[in-house]
Structure 1
Amino acid sequence: MLKRSTPPQVQALVLLIGLGLAPLAAQADIHLLAPSRTLDPSQPFKLSLMLSAETEARSYSLPELLRVTLTPDLGALVSVKLRLEAPLPPQIDLRPGEFLRINYVGELPANLRGRVRIDALDLDAPAMLVQLSTPSAPADAVAVAVAPAPAAAAPGEAASAPAVTTLAVRADSDPNLQDQGRLSFNEPMFAVVGSGIEANAKFQISFKLRLYEPADKLSRRLVDNLYLGYTQTAFWDLTGESKPFVDTKYKPGFFYQSPSTGLRVAGNEVGFAAGYEHESNGRDDLDAKSRSIDILYVKPLFTVGDSLGFHGTFEPKLFVYLDKDENPDIQKYRGYGDFRFTYGKNNDWQLALDLRKGTLSKAFSTNLQASYPLNRFVAGLSGYLMAQYFTGYGETLLNYNQREPWALRFGYAIWR
């Protein structure tokens, strides 16, 4: 056990790596043990090694220091040294069937936040990503650490719960992987090709940047959840003589987004986003068919079902126009909302349906997407196989008031 006199520690990390420590002993059975997922931040970071000799006698020689580098998302690398918690003899001999746990401890920078990459330089082990969060109070009963009892509150004062640093190793089944980094996905990113309309090819890039990384990953404060976003969608005619771009949409934005509002529907947290968005085709005047709009929007996110299994989402984006002078009747074809439904599983197939209804009775648009992870076909591949079907008005901003009968495209998605 660590003594209470140990210097305070604001942040802590989890390493869950079960590989050998090759630089220390060839073919030795040495494994890293992860501490609990929640720790008392008043204690230093502890990393444990398990030495074993399952079938034959083994000898080990361990260094006094372990070197670890920590690289925060979009931040500078930090080097940390962990020291043996207790002195060891120069050589440790284990008989068959014996096990021995060795602890390394050290101080970690208090300003580490968000997603952090872990590299243990003295270990033959891959890098690791962990998510750091230090809420002011335990977020839920399942993740409460056992911490020393707080001092008794003075008369008339409420007792405050100790801060607990939560350490979550990134998992493939996490439904919010895109939100762990400061620079992350925003809307789907893909490249697809097909037929049906002039723009037989289409590709889109989209990302967002979190302006400030809070100490508490689940904070709902305004300043802790502000993002800059950018989406660009290009429509390409690959069959034309010069293979021209039919139109391109540029969509920067500034918005608030939180995956948790404290409200629950069907047992799941309700997410929320709201902000400002400009959309333009980048042309400079009406003679060049310039198109642009500015909107303010709100966008809740509802989830139905187990987010780690097959589940559905509903994401209505409701908006008002701030400026639409270059296309004053655009609400007749686009309306005042976009409605997105999805059903699927994070590591399996997914269907997504985007609906849009203008104020004109005939103005109805549908965009259906189906996707499937490529690593289900070949291990190690990234991204998704994607199919898209569109019919209706306004796939391009240039031709927002013209009906497209249909478009069917197939291709590759980085994010869906």
Structure 2
Amino acid sequence: MPVNITNRADAEAIIREQIVSSIFQDAPKNSVFMGMARKLPNMTSNQTRIRVLDFLPTAYWVDGDTGMKQTTRQAWDNVYLNAGELAVIVPIPDAVLSDTEFDIFGEITPRIMEAIGQKVDAAVIFGDNRPREWQADIITLARQAGNNVAAATGKDYYDLILGDGGVFAKVETDGFGVSGAVAPMNFKAKLRGLRDTTGQPIFKSNMQDVARYTLDGAPITFPENGGFYPEIAQLVVGDFGQAVYSIRQDVTVKILDQGVIQDPVTKEIVYNLAQQDMTALRVVFRMGWALPNPATRMNEDRTGCAFAYLEPGTPATTQKVTFTVTDGAESSPKAYAGARINVDGAILVTGADGKAEFNLRAGTYTAKISKKGFITVTETFTVASTAVTKAITLTAQS
């Protein structure tokens, strides 16, 4: 017998009021990421394109009165926000709705908002169940930029956070400032008592301030929605203004009293709303996000990242994914240096040996391999429990 419904026993202690018809004005408040990142206008279609700087112009000194002036170029790239969908249906017997004295849907909707916030944070920051059309999560992007800091013997948390090579320094080296931080609730105990070289505490609390806690002056949040995974990171810091998100306009909240609900696996009918006198709240939430990572003077090849994180004592398991880019010749293939490999937003450039190495958690990824003067190649690959090697052949444009 199905048990995933709100029955009379679950609702007997609440009172009925007017049914809430919309929940999404408060959705960003329940997501740490949406509360800190930059919100763009609502999406008007399933995909939104952002143009970002990809190649910066260069100026040259002229040699003498008759020296030749050189040319340069500037180029742009497309970054896409693709709408991923979150949805849930909450079925309730009509008799329960009629006999309760509180608004059941009004009580349920705040929990739905909380669940949406949890799913968004887990997907964007840690990649947990992220929609396939989204770019890689913040942790993956930071790791590929070398912005992961491992806990090390002989280093205290001050060194790991604010010292040379700490998470703040990683972000700053890539040309960004730390505007915020996120950590699990138990990380407070590790921060209390830490002081800078002048004896001032680096972790401060102020109950009257909007930024309730700060870490070296940057607001730090300790999520309570279950969307932070301490087994992957102890602390995430970065320039959250560089991350953007947009909510799709066709977000819907519907009260249904007709139709059937099927088991998503077996396809069997679980509930028939009309026949069983039931009402269901159906919620559909769609949003997209991106970390555009435009070229800057401190990050011209776009291999840097605006985020960094502190690993737990036992880092999350990753596998090496090695790309080798050549001309594909059967004997003595020529390696191509300077080829750009973009794996769901994480960018590396091949070295003189034509190789670039990623460290990725289990999942399916899409790589775009490009080099000026060559036809771009797209490859989809899966990472499981062993290392992956990909041989890429680039063909010159005719």
Coarse TM-score class (shorter-chain normalised): under 0.3
Specify which structure has the bigger relative contact order, considering alpha-carbon pairs within 8 angstroms and separated by 6 or more residues. 2
Structure (1 or 2) with the greater strand fraction: 1
**TM-score under structure 2 length normalisation:** 0.23
- Give the TM-score of the pair, scaled to structure 1: 0.22
- Rg larger in structure: 1
